[in-house]
Amino acid sequence: MSDGSAELQVALYTALTAADPAICEGRIYDDVPRDRTDPSLYPFVEIGDSQALADDVSCSNGKDEFVTLHVWSRDRSKKAVKDIAGQIFDELHAASLTVTGRASAHAFVTNTRVFNDPDGITRHGVVTVRILHHA
């Protein structure tokens, strides 16, 4: 039986691309295109690292999972990244997700950071989402 992590990633992707309007016009990636110099790539969201912790307290085969979403923009100000992070918050905070093979999945945005990337051109946002999901 799957632990639900891969299925959770599909659910997050579906939620972000189904938003109206679609976040970053649907440019949500797990595998970011290699040529990051192409200006048409920006802005975009990258589904980053995840960490799953077993819920050994309840009897529901639950997971407490944290997923990092990276927001990338080439706008000169941080406003675009903040706006996109806000859209992510609106879509995912206190949201119930449909995760194949899981009885329930509830998402909460736990924090957001926005900063200049070391390249001096790119603005970067990091959004951490906590998902509680049970079999």
Exposed / middle / buried, residue 126 (Cβ in 10 Å: 0-12, 13-18, 19+):
middle
Specify the pLDDT at position 1.
44
Integer Cα distance of 97 and 34 in angstroms? 30
Residue ranges and CATH numbers for the domains of the chain are: 5-134 (3.30.2000.30)
DSSP code at position 62 = E
Specify the pLDDT at position 5.
85
Alpha helices in the chain (DSSP H): 5-18, 79-92
Specify the pLDDT at position 28.
96
Residues of the chain with pLDDT under 70: 1-3, 56-61
